[in-house]
Amino acid sequence: MAVATPTRAFGASIRRREDPRLITGRGKFTDDIHLANAATAMFVRSPHGHARIVSIDTSAASAHPGVLGVYTFENVKGFISGMPCAWPTTNTGDTLKLATYPPLADGKVRYFGEAVALVVAVDPNTAADAVDLVHVDYDPLPAVINNEAAVAPGAPLIHDSAPGNQAFRWSLVGGDTNGALAHADVRISQTLVNQRLIATPLETRCAVADYNPASGEVTVWVTSQNPHIHRLLIALSTGIPEHKIRVIAGDVGGGFGAKIPYYAGEALCIFASKELGVPVRWSESRSENYVATAHGRDHIQHIEVGATKEGKITALKVTAYASLGAYPSTAAPGVPTWLFGCIIQGPYDIPNNEVHVIGVYTNTTPTDAYRGAGRPEATYMLERVIDLVAAKVGRDPVEVRRLNFVKKDQFPFKVANGTLTYDSGDYELALDQALHTVDYTHLRAWQEEQRAAGKLVGIGFSSYVEICGLGPSSAANAMGFAGGLYDSATIRVHPTGKVTVFTGVHSHGQGHETSFAQIVARDLGLKVDDVDVIHGDTDKVQHGMGTYGSRSAAVGGGALHMAGMKIRAKAQKIAAHLLEVAEEDIEWVDDAFRVKGSPDKAKTIPDCAFAAYMAGNLPAGVTPVLEEQHWYDPENFVFPFGTHICVVEVDRETGETHIKRYVAIDDCGEIINPMLRDGQVHGGIAQGIAQALWEEAVYDENGQLLSGSLMDYAIPKASVMPHLELGHTVTPSPHNPLGVKGIGEAGTIASTPAVVNAVMDALSPLGIHHIDMPLRPAKVWAAIDAASH
Amino acid sequence: MEETHVGISVEVNGRPHRSTVEPRTLLVDYLRDDLGLTGTHIGCDTGQCGACTVIVDGQSVKSCMVLAVQADGAHVRTVEGLAQDGRYHAVQQGFWEKHGLQCGFCTPGFMMQSVQILEDNPDPSDQEIRDALEGNLCRCTGYQNIVEAVKAAGATIRSGAETMALGTGVGA
Ligand code: FES
Ligand code: FES
């Protein structure tokens, strides 16, 4: 049979296979699921940050025409009494206090927007009317918003089960930090606030539940990054047997971490569908999303640094107050602890460091992972520290980075606290490429000229390493994560040689339907157009852990490659049999098994698949069909890294920051599709710049969310984003089957400190060394004004 | 409740529809829920995000800011009506080729606004594109490839080149 031309799919910037449906309006997002006879659910939400519920009167709402049911905690608790926390973080001694997280408020509301009652009606307008008819009598209580105030003596108590509002105390220690601090040439103390953010995927959360009373089966369409985790948590929290639950996360309009958690909204749609015998749909409004969907970040960090007079950091001590919000969300306790503390020394060789994290409850929306999750908090802290040290010892921040970097020949590199071993890296290579791209020497000369002309211009750096490819299950278990972090792939080669792939990770913008097809196309010698990738449906796909922590390419892709190798191994036996030679006498070249020495004698995967399905002429011991599955549990995390450089001008009159240039050099190991990689970096940088300059979830002292809509919460528009200049170095992961490392979070992690460092560099002639984010014009202007008086 | 409903007739993507709606029904909900045209999305409740952008009588509008009754007698064009005669619209092709979308949720709104931009000026500068996209929010792309997509679409329109046929694969 003729042999196809070799595929060059892997590593090529091919356009995406998911796009035709999305650009023609034929995507299937959860809110697009319209089932016959479906009822609409809506929630009555708390107008108070903290209050006792005196009474709830549902009678008027229940009597309203078209209302099918009105429910409070008392009605639903028999179905679900609490939202499970899947990451009861370890290393907390006996301090961990996981407060009960009721699906509807149980006697008390603890944050603005907490759901108090559920209304189900025949249509959205009727449901909205009925929400207004539920009368709740509240007795307001004092609220506490600030993380340190929450654990101060006399603070209002949020949960009786968590005295002092403390959720946990967590520590990691490496070396002798106090000793090194005592002997340091220079010491710096600084407090940094990593503000609260709202993920804001353009699609809010939605759920549609369809319970079948005859079979006891339920199908739930839900906006999820990890449908199998949702299925498991639904089963554990409601008692519906896991095999009776089908979770479908079809097209999902962005996640950024906020669609990892399991929320009451989807659970209560299942409850109502079971109760009423009709499908029930629920779709968040944006204002509702801003109070009901997990927020991110929200750290206050106190830092002490010791360094030599050359700027070599000898000691780093961090005490962080991290808010979980009012209740412990699905993965919340792991984010400010393990995902933050392990990577506390970043790309630097800091032999003595310790980190202490105090998890606190406040009267705010629960927090959870937000793009980067823990690693941006560490990177921002460390990159600010490097610049503060550089200023203190009077050296160029580039040289201080270089001095402190883990060097190329130190890999694999074990961090001081012993938790991580960085797999591979060449941090100076990325730094040098970034410096070369901006022409650093000339850039500094230009800055001098501009400064001489009275302009406030600054150059900011950020070098980072992140923990990606989450992760070895043994590590996940040791950290208290209630699940393994392997992933899965099934490759089904059809009789005609076309392929369907089932992956346990989930795509909600990342483009796996394309990049994963590229992996399989290379491994099996096929065209990308011949490979379909299925994800997001627990009835179709074998168990999998979903997408977060930049794990899809590394873990899901790794599983896929291993499954592809199993296909190849079986097909090789068939090919040898068909070619009537010994297995050792054929080899895989480009896209087919070829007889050594006579490469024209060849069999492709489609040839072998056809024989495997005909099944009458197979070698002894080879079973029919060509389908393989692999479960890949990585031996280590992967550690992407890079350096970003930002050039800004700050308007002296207005305090406004203009980004003049932005260069990002990232190393994510092997690159499957450069165009998709760049897209991930673009979007990540936009979110990171936004944290530096604009975004902040703001509460007043009573716990009202003041930034509760897109009018008040400033996500970037096209007109404020600079043109981004991207580049890369390639340092493959030595242990990942594909050599890949992950790129989904790099842009967000790196860009925030690059921008803030640039602004601080711009303001340094005025004697300003730190301003907390976001660097909005009014705040910067006030600092400039104060410095000039 | 029936007596409060109002009759409207609207032409959507060239097809006439007669419906009765509650006066408070938004155009976007009418398109999605009554006509089943779910390609037009809802991303906010304050008119900020532009995910719901459609073209009404030749002018791009946010369909969450318009009542269905206000569209009585109008011609409405949605993302479902962009491709014609079995071929992609130049704007669709631009978004596909330049990776102008990731999750795709904002995309229908961006494409409809881009159609408007290019009808007003088929050769806009980068800054003109960024400014004209002021009313559309994307959380995934950082906008860079959206700008490229609009430029590519403009080039296709100006050249008069035939666009790709629906059903074209990625060709790799
Ligand atoms: S849904 Fe219309 S502007 Fe957001
Ligand atoms: S592509 Fe996801 S919001 Fe624009």
Domain of A244: which CATH number?
A: 3.90.1170.50
Which residue do the tokens 């060097």 mark? A407
Q: For residue A329, which phi and psi values (nearest 5 degrees)? A: -70, 170
Which numbered atom of ligand 1 lies nearest the CA of B48?
3
Q: What is the DSSP string of A133-173?
A: H-EEEEEE-----SHHHHTSTTPPPS-TTSGGGEEEEEEEE
Does residue A461 register a pLDDT over 70? yes
Query: In terms of domains, do A11 and A75 share one?
Result: no
Question: Residue A458: enclosing H or E segment and its boundaries?
Answer: strand A456-465
How high is the mean pLDDT of chain B?
A: 96
Exposed e or buried b for every residue in A719-738, given b needs 16+ CB within 10 A?
ebbbebebbbbebbbebbbb
B90-159 shares the fold of B6-81:
no
Give, to the nearest 10 degrees, the angle between helix A746-763 and helix A375-393: 30
Mutate: best of A10, A15, A23, partner B, most B CBs <10 A: A23
Pocket of ligand 2 (CB under 6 A): A 202, 253-254, 509; B 101-107, 138-141
pLDDT at residue number A6: 42
Sign of CA dihedral A90, A93, A95, A97: positive
Separate counts of helices (H) and strands (E) for chain B = 5, 5
Q: What does the pLDDT read at residue A788?
A: 86
Would you state the pLDDT for residue B110?
98
Q: For residue A522, which of A631, A730, A628, A671 has the smallest C-alpha distance?
A: A671
Ligand 1: residue of B62, B67, B107, B136 to mutate (most ligand atoms within 8 A of CB) is B62
Average pLDDT of chain A is 97
The Cα–Cα gap between B108 and B122 comes to: 19
| Cβ(A463)–Cβ(A430) below 8 Å | yes
> Which residues on adjacent β-strands are paired with residue B6?
B21
In a domain, A167, yes or no: no
User: Following DSSP, what letter does each residue of A96-122 receive, concatenated?
Assistant: -------SS--SEE-STT-EEEEEEES
User: What's the CA-to-centroid distance between B39 and ligand 1, angstroms?
Assistant: 13
Which residues in chain A have their CB less than 8 angstroms from residue B29's CB? 124
Give B 111-150 residues with CB within 8 A of chain A.
111, 126-127, 129-131, 133-134, 136-147
User: Do strands A592-595 and A352-361 pair parallel, antiparallel, or not at all (unpaired)?
Assistant: unpaired
| Residue A649 within a domain | yes
Whether residue A13 sits in one domain with residue A37:
no
Residue A84 resides in a domain: yes
- Residue-by-residue DSSP string for B55-98: EETTEEEETTSSBGGGGTT-EEE-GGGTSBTTB--HHHHHHHHT
Q: How far apart are CA A555 and CA A519, in angstroms?
A: 13
What is the CATH code of the structural domain delimited by B90-159?
A: 1.10.150.120
Is A226 among the domain residues? yes
pLDDT at A5 over 70: no
H or E element: which one contains A452?
helix A440-452
Query: Helices in A596-718 by DSSP H: which ranges?
Result: 605-614, 674-693
Do A620 and A675 lie in one domain? The reply is no
Q: What are the structure tokens assigned to A668, written together?
A: 């994510």
Please tell me if residue A508 touches chain B, with a CB cutoff of 8 Å: yes
Pocket of ligand 1 (CB under 6 A): B 42-44, 47-52, 62, 64
- For residue A661, give the 3-state DSSP assignment: strand
Instruction: Tell whether the model's pLDDT for residue A15 goes beyond 70.
Output: yes
Residue pair A649/A772 in contact by the 8 Å Cβ criterion: no
- Give the per-residue pLDDT at A697: 98
Q: Residue A700's closest CA among A145, A148, A323, A149?
A: A145
Tell me: do A681 and A745 sit in the same domain: yes
Residue B4, pLDDT score: 83
Tokens of A395: 């050296």
User: Which of A292, A316, A339 is a domain's end point?
Assistant: A292
Count of CA atoms in the C-beta half-sphere (13 A) of A467: 27
At position B138, the amino acid (one-letter code) is: C
- A509 or A8: which carries more pLDDT confidence? A509
Q: Given the DSSP bridges, would you call strands A487-493 and A499-503 parallel, antiparallel or unpaired?
A: antiparallel
Q: Is A778 helix (H, G, I), strand (E, B) or coil?
A: helix
List the single residue in B with minimal CA-CA distance to A682: B142
On whether both A13 and A43 belong to a single domain, the answer is no
pTM exceeding the 0.80 threshold for the entire prediction: yes
Q: How far is B17 from chain A (nearest CA, A)?
A: 19
Question: What is the whole-number distance in angstroms between the Cα of residue A296 and the centre of ligand 1?
Answer: 24
**Whether residue A705 has pLDDT greater than 60:** yes
Query: A551 and A417 in one domain?
Result: no
Per-domain residue ranges for chain B? Answer: 6-81, 90-159
Confidence at residue A601, expressed as pLDDT on a 0 to 100 scale: 97
Report pLDDT for A242: 97
In this complex, the residue of A32, A683, A710 whose CB is nearest that of residue B49 is: A710
- From CA A189, how far away is CA A304, in angstroms rounded? 5
Mean pLDDT of A609-615: 98
pLDDT > 60? residue A222? yes
Does A193 map to a domain? Answer: no
Six token digits for residue A28? 């299937």
- In angstroms, the CA A251 to CA A506 distance is 10
pLDDT attached to residue B171: 85
Taking 3-state DSSP, the helix, strand and coil percentages for chain A, each rounded to the nearest 5, stand at 30, 25, 40
> What does the pLDDT read at residue A664?
98
pLDDT at A442 exceeding the cut of 50: yes
**pLDDT tens track of chain B, all 172 residues?**
455 899 999 999 999 999 999 999 999 999 999 999 999 999 999 999 999 999 999 999 999 999 999 999 999 999 999 999 999 999 999 999 999 999 999 999 999 999 999 999 999 999 999 999 999 999 999 999 999 999 999 999 999 999 999 999 998 8
- The reply to whether A678 and A711 lie within a common domain is yes
Q: Which residues is A533 bridged to in the sheet?
A: A501
Per-residue pLDDT, averaged over A715-740, amounts to 97
Mean pLDDT of A415-423: 96
B96, amino acid identity: W
CA nearest A676 in B: which residue? B99
Domain B6-81 fold: Ubiquitin-like (UB roll) (3.10.20)
Is B87 within 8 Å of chain A by CB? no
Helix (H) or strand (E) holding A195: strand A186-198
Minimal CA–CA distance to A345: which of A312, A369, A310? A312
Nearest residue (CA) to ligand 1, atom 1? B42
In a domain, A362, yes or no: no
Q: Strand B59-62: give its sheet, edge to edge.
A: B15-21, B6-12, B75-77, B53-56, B59-62
Q: Tell me how close the Cα of B127 comes to any Cα of chain A, in angstroms.
A: 7
- pLDDT band of A7, cuts 50, 70, 90: low
Residue percentage of chain A with pLDDT more than 90: 98
> Does A90 share its domain with A227?
yes
HSE-up of residue A727 (Cα within 13 Å, Cβ side): 18
Q: Is B63 on the interface with A (CB under 8 A)?
A: no
Chain centroid to Cα A205, Å, comes to 16
3-state helix/strand/coil string of A33-64: CCCCCCEEEEEEECCCCCEEEEEEECHHHHHC
Closest CA to B93 of B115, B60, B116, B62: B115
User: How far apart, in whole angstroms, are the C-alpha atoms of residue A109 and residue A255?
Assistant: 27
pLDDT at A2 over 80: no
**Confidence class for position A4, pLDDT limits 50, 70, 90:** very low
Average pLDDT value for residue range A601-614: 98
- The DSSP line for A232-259 is HHHHHHH---GGGEEEE--B----TTTT
Q: What percent of chain A clears pLDDT 70, i.e. is strictly above it?
A: 99
Same domain, A22 and A42: no
Has residue A622 been placed in a domain? yes
Name the token pair of A678: 């760049």
Residue A409 sits in the same domain as residue A498: no
Of the pLDDT bands very low, low, confident and very high (cuts 50, 70, 90), residue A9 is: confident
* Structure-block tokens of residue A352: 């003595």
Pairing of strands A499-503, A531-534: parallel
Ligand nearest to the CA of A682: 2
pLDDT in tens, A16-38: 999 999 999 999 999 999 999 99
Which residues of chain B does A528 touch, with a Cβ-Cβ cutoff of 8 Å?
169-170, 172
Q: Which residue has the tokens 């196309």?
A: A521
Cα A267 vs. chain centroid, distance in angstroms? 22
The range of the structural domain enclosing residue A566 comes to 6-27+486-632
> Nearest 5°: phi and psi at A758?
-65, -45
Domain count, chain A: 3
pLDDT digits (tens, 9 = 90+) for A562-597: 999 999 999 999 999 999 999 999 999 989 999 999
Average pLDDT over residues A386-391: 98
Residues near A501 by Cβ (< 8 Å), separated by ≥ 6?
A489, A490, A491, A492, A516, A517, A520, A531, A532, A533, A534, A560
Helix (H, G, I), strand (E, B) or coil at A578: helix
Output the six-digit token pair for B2: 């029936």
Contact: B105, A679; criterion CB under 8 Å: no
- Arithmetic mean of pLDDT, A643-648: 98
